[in-house]
C-alpha cells in the first residue's frame, strides 16, 4: 500500500515554467497566435514571462513519512523514527540496513525510503539512483519521484524517459501528471498534435494535474491558431480553478487573444481582470503593456499614455518602456499627429537605444521629421538604423530622399550607392536608382544621372518617373529625336498618368523641331480635342 499523501504529490498545478516555455515566443521559434505582424518589439516580453515563472515551474513533491508497520525489523522502525525527527542521515543508515531484510515487503519499502531520505537530505543524484532500485507497490511512486528529480536537476532526457514510461502505464497513480509533462515537452518541441492529445487525456483523467492540463490545452489551442476554442478552454479553466497559479497568466493570455482578433474592449476587460487582486513582476508588466497596446491600436493616445505611466510606476524595465513608447508613437503617427509621434519615438530611444525595436523607432522618428519638414534631421535619424536591420535599405533610400530635399546631394549619392551595393535584392531598390539619378543631376552630373535613370527596371513603380526624367533631359539637351521617342514611350506606357498632356505637348514640340509637321500637328490636334489643362490646350491652339 502506498504511504499517506502519495496521491497528492503536486501542489495545485505548478507546471508554470513548462507551460510558459511552450506557450510563449522563444527566440522566434514558437508563438502564441496573439502576436501580430508588427510586433517585433514585443517578442522579448514573452521570453521574460517564461523566465519569471521558471523557479516555480516544476512538480512539487509532497514531503511524506514512513508509517509504523507491524512485523518490520527494528532497523526499519528506528529509521522511521529518525526520519520523522528530520535526522535523514541516521534514517538513511537504518533504511539501507532494512533494505537487506529477509522480509521481502520490508526490503522493497525500505529501498524506497532510502531514496526519499536522500532526497530530503538534498542528495538528489543519489536519490535518483536509489529510487531506481525501488520494487513492488512503491515502484510507481519511486519512478514518478525519479522523473521529477531528473526534471528539476536538468537531466531532461532521463526525465523524458521516465515520464514517458509513466504516461504509458494506465494503472499509474501519476499518469495524468506524466501526460501533462509530456504534453508540455511535445509542445515545446513543436509536436503540437501529440501534445494536444496528451493534455486532453490528462484533463479527462482528472486529479491534481487537471488544472495544469486544461491551462496548457488552452495555450496549445491558441498557439495552433484556434482562438475561439482557446478562449473557451482558458475561460473554463479560470472559472473552475480561479486560484490556480496560472489563472492570472491565462487572463492575460485571453487579453492578447482578443487583442489579436481586434476585439479591443474584450482585451481591455481581460487585462484589467488579470490585475484584480494585484499583480507584480513581469506578469504585471506584461498586462500593463497589453493595456498600452490596446489603447494605442484603438487610436486612444491619451489612454495609452495613461497606461504607459502606470507601466512606468510598476517598475517595468527599459525594454517594456521602450516598446510602450514606440506603441504610442505608432498610434499618434496613424492619427497624423507627427509631432507627438516623434516625441514618443524619441522617448523610446532615450529609454533604450539598444532594445529590440530600436531600429523601428529610429526609422519612424525619421519619417515623422520628414513629415514635419525637418529633412536634414530626418536623414540623420534614418542613417542611424543598423546595417543588419531589415529596415536598412529602406532607411538608406528614405535618408537619401530627405538629403536631396535639403540640398545634401553628396550624402544622398553615398547612401544610394550603399543601398544598391549592399541590398540588391531589396524589393524597393528600383527607387534607389531613380533617386540616384536625381542626386547626380543635382550635382550637375548629367551623364551619371542618365545612366542611373536608365538602370530603373521597366516593371517597377519608379520606371514612370525615370522615363519622364530621361525624356525631359533629352528635350532640354535639344536631342529631339531621343526626346520624341521617349515621350511617345511614356504616353504609350502610362496613358492615365496626369503628366500625359504635358508629355503630348512636349512630344509635339519635339516633332516640330525635328521637322515632322504631320506628327506635330497630330499631337497638337489631340490636345485641342481633349486637353483638360486650359494652358496646354491654349498652347496647342496657338
Q: Tell me how many helices (H) and strands (E) the chain has.
A: 29, 0
pLDDT tens for residues 36-53? 334 556 666 655 554 443
Residue that is written with C-alpha cell 489631340 in the block: 526
Nine cell digits for residue 455:
538602370
Nine cell digits for residue 11:
501542489
Per cent of the chain over pLDDT 70 is 88
Averaged pLDDT, 7-34: 35
Averaged pLDDT, 191-215: 89
pLDDT at 24: 33
- Cβ-based neighbours of 167, under 8 Å, separated by 6 or more: 175, 178, 179, 182, 198
How far apart CA 255 and CA 250 sit, in angstroms, is 9
Is the confidence at residue 360, as pLDDT, over 80?
A: yes
- Using CA atoms, how far residue 500 sits from 485, 504, 523, 535, in Å, is 14, 6, 12, 14
Of 14-28, 95-109, 114-128, the poorest mean pLDDT is in 14-28
Is the confidence at residue 141, as pLDDT, over 90?
A: yes
The model's pTM: 0.74
Scanning 299-357, the segments in alpha helix (DSSP H) are 301-313, 318-334, 338-351
438 band by pLDDT with thresholds 50, 70 and 90 = very high
Angle at 392 between CA 391 and CA 398, to 5 degrees: 85
The number of CA neighbours under 13 Å toward the Cβ of 344 is: 29
Averaged pLDDT, 454-479: 95
How far apart CA 379 and CA 395 sit, in angstroms, is 9
Number of CB atoms found within 10 A of residue 373's CB:
11
How far apart CA 149 and CA 129 sit, in angstroms, is 11
pLDDT at 32: 43
* Range with the largest mean pLDDT of 235-244, 253-262, 394-403: 394-403
Residue that is written with C-alpha cell 531589396 in the block: 426
Whether the CB-CB separation of 313 and 280 falls below 8 Å is answered with no
| Three-class SS state of 396 | helix
221 band by pLDDT with thresholds 50, 70 and 90 = confident
pLDDT tens for residues 365-422? 999 999 999 999 999 999 999 999 999 999 999 999 999 999 999 999 999 999 999 9
Neighbour-count burial for 510-534, b at 16+ CB within 10 Å, e otherwise: bbbeeebeebbeebbebbeeebeee
Please, what are the domains in the chain? 378-460 (1.25.40.10), 462-542 (1.25.40.10)
Is the confidence at residue 22, as pLDDT, over 70?
A: no
Q: Does 245 or 315 have the greater pLDDT score?
A: 315
Is the confidence at residue 23, as pLDDT, over 90?
A: no
How far apart CA 59 and CA 148 sit, in angstroms, is 6
Averaged pLDDT, 465-493: 96
Averaged pLDDT, 460-468: 95
How far apart CA 107 and CA 216 sit, in angstroms, is 40
SS (H, E, C) 119-183: HHCCCHHHHHHHHCCCCHHHHHHHHHHHHHHHHHCCCHHHHHHHHHHHHHCCCCCCHHHHHHHHH
Is the confidence at residue 189, as pLDDT, over 70?
A: yes
How far apart CA 169 and CA 490 sit, in angstroms, is 77
Q: Does 100 or 312 have the greater pLDDT score?
A: 312
**Dihedral angle over CA of 350, 354, 360, 364, nearest 10:** 20
How far apart CA 324 and CA 309 sit, in angstroms, is 10
Q: Does 209 or 160 have the greater pLDDT score?
A: 160
Residue that is written with C-alpha cell 508497520 in the block: 69
Nearest of 92, 109, 91, 93 to residue 101 by alpha carbon: 109
57 band by pLDDT with thresholds 50, 70 and 90 = very low
pLDDT at 147: 94
How high is the mean pLDDT of the chain? 86
**Dihedral angle over CA of 24, 28, 29, 35, nearest 10:** 50
Is the confidence at residue 429, as pLDDT, over 60?
A: yes
Averaged pLDDT, 459-475: 95
Whether the CB-CB separation of 416 and 402 falls below 8 Å is answered with no
Burial class (CB in 10 A: 0-12, 13-18, 19+), 541: exposed
Q: Does 401 or 75 have the greater pLDDT score?
A: 401
Nine cell digits for residue 461:
513603380
| Three-class SS state of 445 | coil
Amino acid at each position: 500500500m502506498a504511504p499517506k499523501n502519495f496521491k497528492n504529490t503536486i501542489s495545485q498545478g505548478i507546471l508554470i515554467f513548462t507551460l510558459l516555455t511552450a506557450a510563449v515566443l522563444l527566440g522566434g521559434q514558437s508563438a502564441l497566435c496573439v502576436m501580430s505582424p508588427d510586433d517585433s518589439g514585443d517578442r522579448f516580453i514573452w521570453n521574460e514571462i517564461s523566465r519569471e515563472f521558471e523557479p516555480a515551474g516544476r512538480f512539487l513533491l509532497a514531503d511524506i513519512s514512513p508509517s509504523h508497520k507491524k512485523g518490520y525489523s527494528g532497523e526499519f522502525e528506528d529509521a522511521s523514527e529518525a526520519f520523522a525527527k528530520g535526522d535523514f542521515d541516521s534514517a538513511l543508515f537504518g533504511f539501507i540496513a532494512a533494505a537487506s531484510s529477509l522480509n521481502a515487503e520490508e526490503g522493497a519499502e525500505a529501498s524506497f525510503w532510502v531514496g526519499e531520505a536522500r532526497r530530503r537530505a538534498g542528495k538528489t543524484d543519489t536519490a535518483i539512483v536509489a529510487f531506481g532500485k525501488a520494487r513492488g507497490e512503491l515502484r510507481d511512486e519511486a519512478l514518478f519521484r525519479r522523473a521529477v528529480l531528473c526534471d528539476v536537476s536538468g537531466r531532461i532526457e532521463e526525465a523524458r524517459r521516465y515520464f514517458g514510461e509513466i504516461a504509458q502505464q494506465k494503472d499509474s497513480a501519476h499518469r495524468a501528471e506524466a501526460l501533462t509533462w509530456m504534453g508540455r515537452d511535445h509542445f515545446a518541441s513543436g509536436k503540437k498534435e501529440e501534445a494536444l492529445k496528451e493534455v486532453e487525456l490528462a484533463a479527462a483523467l482528472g486529479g491534481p494535474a487537471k488544472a495544469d492540463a486544461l491551462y496548457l490545452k488552452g495555450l496549445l489551442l491558441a498557439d495552433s491558431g484556434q482562438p475561439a476554442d482557446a478562449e473557451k478552454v482558458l475561460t473554463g479553466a479560470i472559472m473552475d480553478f480561479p486560484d490556480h497559479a496560472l489563472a492570472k497568466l491565462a487572463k492575460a493570455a485571453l487579453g492578447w487573444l482578443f487583442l489579436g482578433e481586434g476585439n479591443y474592449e474584450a482585451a481591455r476587460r481581460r487585462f484589467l481582470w488579470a490585475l484584480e487582486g494585484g499583480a507584480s513582476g513581469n506578469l504585471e508588466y506584461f498586462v500593463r503593456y497589453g493595456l498600452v497596446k490596446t489603447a494605442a491600436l484603438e487610436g486612444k493616445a491619451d489612454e495609452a499614455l495613461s497606461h504607459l505611466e502606470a507601466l512606468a510606476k510598476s517598475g517595468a524595465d527599459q525594454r517594456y518602456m521602450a516598446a510602450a513608447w514606440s506603441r504610442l508613437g505608432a498610434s499618434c503617427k496613424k492619427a497624423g499627429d507627427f509631432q507627438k509621434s516623434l516625441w514618443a519615438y524619441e522617448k523610446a530611444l532615450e529609454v533604450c537605444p539598444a532594445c529590440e525595436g530600436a531600429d523601428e523607432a529610429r526609422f519612424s522618428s525619421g519619417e515623422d521629421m520628414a513629415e514635419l519638414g525637418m529633412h536634414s534631421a530626418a536623414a540623420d535619424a534614418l542613417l542611424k538604423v543598423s546595417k543588419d536591420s531589415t529596415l536598412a535599405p529602406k532607411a538608406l533610400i528614405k535618408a537619401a530622399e530627405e538629403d536631396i530635399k535639403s540640398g545634401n546631394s553628396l550624402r544622398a549619392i553615398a547612401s544610394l550607392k550603399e543601398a544598391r551595393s549592399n541590398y540588391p535584392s531589396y524589393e524597393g531598390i528600383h527607387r534607389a536608382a531613380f533617386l540616384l539619378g536625381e542626386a547626380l543631376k543635382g550635382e550637375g552630373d548629367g551623364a551619371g544621372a542618365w545612366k542611373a535613370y536608365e538602370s530603373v527596371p521597366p516593371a517597377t513603380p519608379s520606371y514612370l518617373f525615370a522615363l519622364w526624367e530621361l525624356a525631359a533631359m533629352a528635350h532640354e539637351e535639344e536631342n529631339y529625336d531621343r526626346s520624341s521617342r521617349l515621350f511617345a514611350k511614356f504616353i504609350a506606357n502610362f496613358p492615365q498618368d496626369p503628366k500625359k498632356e504635358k508629355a503630348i505637348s512636349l512630344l509635339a514640340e519635339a516633332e516640330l523641331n525635328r521637322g515632322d509637321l504631320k506628327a506635330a500637328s497630330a499631337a497638337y490636334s489631340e490636345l485641342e480635342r481633349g486637353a483638360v489643362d486650359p494652358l496646354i490646350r491654349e498652347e496647342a491652339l496657338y
